[in-house]
Structure 1
Amino acid sequence: MPAIHLTDRAPEVGADELVAAMCPPPRFDGVRFDTYLPDPAQPSQSAALASCREFAGRIGTAPARRSWWRSLTGGERKPAGKPGLYLDGVFGVGKTHLLAAIWHAVPAPKAFGTFVELTHLVGALGFAETVRRLSGYRLLAIDEFELDDPGDTMLVTRLIAELTSAGVCVAATSNTLPDRLGEGRFAAGDFLREIHAMAERFEIVRVDGADYRHRGLPDAPDPVSDAELLARASAAPGASYDDFDALCAHLGTLHPSRYGKLVEGVSIVHLRGVRPATGQDVALRLVSFADRLYDRAVPVVVSGTPVSKLFTEEMLRGGYRKKYLRAISRLISLSRVSTDLDAEDVSPAPASPLRPA
């Protein structure tokens, strides 16, 4: 059976499709507050769960805003308290689970997207049109919040200011406190006023703990041979098979917001000749690609270098360290799922056995 080649795909995502798709990815369809299991050894997780319930409850009791102008002129009541909730903590402690649970608990209209998807929406619609479309929403949930360059800093801080002034509540997750966003990546000090102004709109909730995906579990599975990789890809319905370098080059031709559609319908990904990323631009695209695979619970099998060695030691010491470690964590998890599938001889792409995070 011929395998799918991701390098043959060039998905397009229109502006209306972007807006309609602003909901939690499939992995998080069934998450709710009741399905979040706080670690008894980490009191902050139970406290974060309570804060998220309270935040969602406040939004749910406020009337939906029918117009941006009426909200700005004080014609409609806004929820009490700060308009933003910011979940800060290391990867693998369930922040995205909590963010999706907030989204599920709040009545429509509402939107959920990654930071990259949000910036692409502004690029597709324009700033004013994005504000117009989202200003009537009760909630905007932003996952993987990060400011990697000055342009994004100015864009997102202004967008959040406009939307929260219009009465939209914003919930976000990140590995970095809001007043330290951009640190180690660009001259964040030049934008401190904008960053601090945005931070003041959020209640900051810390979520401590260890990465649940690897508690007491082994490291990444060993890569398979090229011959075995091809045999597996040929035998699995809906599988993809690509040369790693060719895929990296192909990802460079697509905006990261299109990566989700790139793997749509793929049951399991096979990558030949995996090796450490050759530069920060390639590495950051691989982070976004890994996030979209994880969102959709798509297992991964590789030949060449283990996924745990995808980023160089120099990269892991740099300003994007947290992003790279999150990607490694998720790819190891997806690689172990593929190993379990092979051992059990079952159909690929099952529901993930792991708690979303």
Structure 2
Amino acid sequence: MTSLSQHYMSLTQDGTLIADPAQIAALPEFERVHDALLQPVKKGLFRKAPEPPKGVYFWGGVGRGKSMLMDLFVEHLDGIPARRVHFHAFMQEIHAAMHEVRKSGVEDAISPVAADVAASVRLLAFDEMQISDITDAMIVGRLFEALFSAGVVVITTSNRHPDELYKNGLNRDLFLPFIALIKERMVVHELVSPTDYRQDRLGGQQVYFTPVNSDARKAMDAVWDDLAGGPGTPLILKVKGRDVELPAFRNSVARAGFHDLCGKPLGPADYLTLAEAVKVLMIDGIPSLSRSNFNEAKRFVTLIDALYEAKVRLICSAAAKPEMLYVEGEGTFEFERTASRLREMQGSDWGQ
């Protein structure tokens, strides 16, 4: 069987990928984990199970190919029990599983939940590890300690160095042991590439489609296929005990309808959490705004402000050009700033 490096080079030779020195430099870490997991586990009364290999914490800028490399690795695992999942989605599953376990009267819900996870996989591949919720921050250390003790190997991508996780978070001192655990049980590898491939794919492409019709829908679908690379799954964000759901999410790209984001009673905290969780947001069907849907318009303004400040790439279909979206009713003057931001966010260099 070909190695991951050989497979990567074959993809560059047929034009599927562009050879990137930073990506090539990361491949040995994947191969180290792969080769260690392929070693047979010796069983017997006096034979101690081999120490599992250290995992890998890949971090670096947006669009450098971290998720793509991890996907190649998982596809190349030769039947090793593994799961590739977005970190936010995994933590939501953990919270739900702990809730169910507590119903049986168990006080320490983390141990049985971690045991169930460890029984099903030898490797967990997380995309986009970041901690913004205090409930995640307070359990993740014990959870991962239990997974590591059970021999589970973890590979994760992140846009932040481990030292930057949960930065300025509430009770962060209690979170610091988890950072130490990452450094102990995982190799921290920075993917240093000057090229933002996601930005390059969008460079010069249309990202604002109007009017809302079948052509706009097809164009949005095409952008999704190019950036996300496959069907999305719902992403549920926890914000102050509430659920904020994005209907489709994959490879840091989220897609939702206007009503999903602005037709519900969401506020600044929800949009800030959303902006932290995604790198590209696709919004379908932004309608004409006026006094008849004033509340939705106010939420839209707040959403765009959050996306703008976080440098999230925005792709959308809308009923009219930005300057013509809100032409009558209270708030038209204030909306001029939003229209200006919508224009700026269409620039090919936006988010760099």
SS of the counterpart of 2:51? coil
CA contact (8 A) 1:103 1:139 kept: no
Deviations 1:296-329 (A, max 9, x none): xx89575679x9x96437973xxxxxxx44x41x
Which sections of structure 1, spanning at least 5 residues, go unmatched?
A: 1-31, 240-249, 317-323, 336-357
SS of the counterpart of 1:116? helix
Distance (whole Å) between structure 1 residues aligned to residue 244 and residue 37 of structure 2: 31
Distance (whole Å) between structure 2 residues aligned to residue 300 and residue 52 of structure 1: 37
The equivalent residue for 2:49 is: 76
Distance (whole Å) between structure 1 residues aligned to residue 161 and residue 217 of structure 2: 45
Higher relative contact order (CA 8 A, sep 6+): 1
The equivalent residue for 1:132 is: 115
Distance (whole Å) between structure 2 residues aligned to residue 287 and residue 180 of structure 1: 14
The equivalent residue for 1:119 is: 91
Pair member with larger Rg: 2
TM-score, reference length from structure 2: 0.58
CA contact (8 A) 1:223 1:302 kept: no
Deviations 1:281-310 (A, max 9, x none): 12423665777x8xxxx89575679x9x96
TM-score, reference length from structure 1: 0.57
Counterpart of 1:77, as a letter, is P
1:312 to 290, 305, 313: 305
Q: Would you say 1:170 and 2:154 are equivalent positions?
A: yes
Distance (whole Å) between structure 2 residues aligned to residue 109 and residue 90 of structure 1: 29
Deviation at 1:171, TM superposition (A): 0.3
Deviation at 1:178, TM superposition (A): 1.3
2:188 to 204, 210, 213: 204
CA contact (8 A) 1:64 1:138 kept: no
Pair 1:231–1:260, CA change in 2 (3 A): closer
Counterpart of 1:45, as a letter, is Q
Distance (whole Å) between structure 2 residues aligned to residue 153 and residue 78 of structure 1: 27
Deviation at 1:119, TM superposition (A): 0.9
The equivalent residue for 1:16 is: none
CA contact (8 A) 1:85 1:203 kept: yes
Q: Would you say 1:259 and 2:247 are equivalent positions?
A: yes
Counterpart of 1:154, as a letter, is M
Taking every aligned residue pair, what percent have the same amino acid on both sides? 23
The equivalent residue for 2:26 is: 48
Deviations 1:18-60 (A, max 9, x none): xxxxxxxxxxxxxx745474654xx332111222222222222
Pair 1:233–1:281, CA change in 2 (3 A): same
For 1:85-164, list aligned pairs within 5 A: 85-106=56-77, 107-126=79-98, 127-136=110-119, 137-164=121-148
Deviation at 1:151, TM superposition (A): 2.5
Distance (whole Å) between structure 1 residues aligned to residue 91 and residue 36 of structure 2: 27
Pair 1:273–1:222, CA change in 2 (3 A): farther
CA contact (8 A) 1:116 1:257 kept: no
Deviation at 1:192, TM superposition (A): 1.9
Deviations 1:125-167 (A, max 9, x none): 1233431222132101111101113331232221111111111
Residue-pair matches, total: 258
SS of the counterpart of 2:131? coil
Which sections of structure 2, spanning at least 5 residues, go unmatched?
A: 1-6, 99-109, 223-236, 289-296, 318-352
For 1:230-309, list aligned pairs within 5 A: 230=213, 232=215, 255=243, 259-260=247-248, 271=258, 279-285=268-274
Counterpart of 1:130, as a letter, is V
Deviation at 1:173, TM superposition (A): 0.4
The equivalent residue for 2:323 is: none
Counterpart of 1:153, as a letter, is A
Deviation at 1:61, TM superposition (A): 2.5
Distance (whole Å) between structure 2 residues aligned to residue 58 and residue 213 of structure 1: 32
The equivalent residue for 1:319 is: none
Once superposed, what is the RMSD of the aligned Cα atoms? Answer: 4.5
Deviations 1:217-255 (A, max 9, x none): 546736444xx214647999x99xxxxxxxxxx998984
